[in-house]
């Protein structure tokens, strides 16, 4: 489809739902199907859209934040529209020792873009990534998640030319939205200055640990002091759930009294 047409996410979700459910059925825990499902959506939409994140969260009984936290961890999943060829060059130690610095400079110069950027024609997205676990064949990269090894300027020239001519053997990414110049996903700007995510400052949810951006722990401590009821409830709930292990830890910490309690688990569950 043309990238100017509005993408019908509802139709895609309806189509993929049976495959998603089949994936969920393969695992003991539904959340174990998260990554393969995200790949399904990325394969069809070209990236992991916010709609896909919400859909999968509902399907797996997770929050959107939990799904996004997983998706954002992997360089295999793209959270913004990208080019038809995503070029991810390894900048890990072994690749660096084998000349990755000059390979990366060559890519940047050849494409005219930096890391996490896309060319204006929407053909190439470029990223410098951490170790791709193919150190024995450094220098290496992935093209649309397929490995390419032993990079040289000549190999890069032929690769880019074949991609421009449409003859490169790796399938181009689906492109359902026009990529921006950068596909970097910015963090909440307030985090770097010690702020918190919106909505968590006044949260009374005992499972909400206070959001992010609290490196000193001062905001969290304030929660304990001003909202102690929430934390008492939380602690009780965890104690019931984890009673056995907590009781065992308490026993281990206790100085030996010769009472015979240590290590026998007799208090577990109380
Ligand atoms: S350092 Fe490049 S694959 Fe490991």
Question: In this structure, are 31 and 58 located in the same domain?
Answer: yes
Residue nearest to atom 1 of ligand 1 (CA): 92
| Domain contains 4 | no
172 falls within a domain: no
Instruction: Report which DSSP code applies to 143.
Output: E
Cα separation, 68 vs 188, whole angstroms: 14
- Tokens (6 digits) for 208: 């909400």
Which of 165, 180, 200 is the last residue before a domain boundary?
165
pLDDT at 252 exceeding the cut of 60: yes
* 17 located within any domain: yes
Of residues 39 and 213, which shows the higher confidence score? 39
Nearest to 174 by CA among 5, 50, 31: 5
Considering the domain boundaries, does residue 124 fall inside one?
A: yes
CA–CA dist 135, 152 (Å, integer):
16
Judge whether 224 lies within some domain.
Answer: yes
Residues 156 and 94 in one domain: yes
Query: Does residue 103 sit in the same domain as residue 128?
Result: yes
Rounded to an integer, what distance in angstroms lies between the CA atom of residue 234 and that of residue 227?
A: 11
Task: Report the alpha-carbon distance of residue 156 to residue 149 in Å, rounded.
Answer: 11
- Domain assignment present for residue 193? The answer is no
User: Two tokens at 130?
Assistant: 């951490």
Domain boundary among 47, 73, 99: 73
Q: 259 in a domain, yes or no?
A: no
Give the H/E segment covering residue 142.
Answer: strand 141-143
Tokens standing for residue 116: 């996490």
pLDDT band at 237 (very low <50, low <70, confident <90, very high): low
* 90 Cα to the center of ligand 1, angstroms: 6
Residues 35 and 13 in one domain: yes
CATH code for the domain in which residue 63 is found: 1.10.10
Domain count, the chain: 3
Both 155 and 90 in one domain: the answer is: yes
66 with 96, same domain: the answer is no
pLDDT at 229 over 80: no
Q: Is the CB of 148 under 6 A from ligand 1?
A: no
Alpha carbon of 179 to ligand 1 centroid (Å): 28
* Mutation test residue for ligand 1: of 101, 138, 139, 151, the one with most atoms within 8 Å of CB: 138
Q: Could you tell me if the CB of 129 is within 6 A of ligand 1?
A: no
Which residues span the domain enclosing 109? 85-165
- Write down the mean pLDDT value for the chain: 81
Is the beta carbon of 145 within 6 A of some atom in ligand 1?
Answer: no
Which residues, listed in sequence order, are joined to residue 128 by a DSSP beta bridge? Answer: 89
Ligand 1 centre and the CA of 98: distance in Å? 10
Provide the pLDDT for residue 256. 61
* Span of 12-21, 145-154, 185-194, 202-211 with lowest mean pLDDT: 202-211
- Taking only the tens place, the pLDDT of each residue in 111-154 is 999 999 999 999 999 999 999 999 999 999 999 999 999 999 99
- Is residue 96 assigned to a domain? yes
Q: What angle do CA 190, 195, 197 make, to 5 degrees?
A: 80
Dist. CA 87 → ligand 1 center (Å):
15
Of the ranges 38-47, 198-207, 222-231, the best mean pLDDT one: 38-47
Same-domain pairing of 44 and 17? yes
Q: Which of 46, 73, 100 is the last residue of a domain?
A: 73
> Closest ligand 1 atom to the C-alpha of 139?
2
Instruction: Identify the residue whose tokens are 């053997």.
Output: 169
For residue 123, the domain's CATH number is 3.40.30.10
């Amino acid at each position: 489809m043309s990238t100017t047409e509005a993408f019908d996410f509802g139709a895609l979700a309806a189509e993929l739902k049976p495959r998603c459910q089949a994936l969920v059925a393969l695992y003991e825990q539904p959340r174990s199907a998260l990554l393969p499902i995200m790949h399904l959506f990325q394969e069809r939409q070209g990236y992991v859209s916010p709609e896909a994140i919400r859909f999968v969260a509902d399907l797996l009984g997770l929050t959107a934040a939990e799904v996004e936290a997983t998706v954002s961890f992997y360089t295999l999943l793209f959270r913004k529209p990208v080019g038809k060829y995503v070029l991810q060059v390894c900048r890990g130690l072994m690749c660096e020792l084998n000349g990755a610095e000059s390979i990366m400079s060559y890519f940047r110069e050849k494409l005219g873009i930096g890391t996490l950027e896309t060319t204006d024609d929407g053909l190439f997205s470029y990223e410098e990534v951490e170790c791709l676990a193919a150190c024995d064949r450094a220098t290496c990269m992935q093209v649309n998640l397929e490995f390419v090894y032993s990079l040289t300027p000549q190999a890069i020239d032929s690769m880019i030319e074949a991609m421009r001519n449409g003859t490169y053997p790796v399938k181009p990414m689906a492109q359902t939205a026009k990529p921006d110049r950068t596909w970097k996903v910015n963090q909440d700007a307030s985090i770097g200055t010690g702020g918190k995510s919106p909505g968590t400052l006044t949260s009374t949810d005992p499972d909400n640990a206070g959001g992010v951006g609290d490196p000193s722990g001062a905001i969290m401590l304030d929660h304990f002091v001003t909202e102690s009821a929430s934390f008492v409830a939380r602690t009780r709930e965890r104690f019931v759930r984890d009673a056995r292990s907590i009781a065992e830890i308490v026993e281990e910490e206790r100085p030996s009294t010769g009472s015979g309690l240590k290590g026998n688990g007799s208090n577990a569950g109380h």
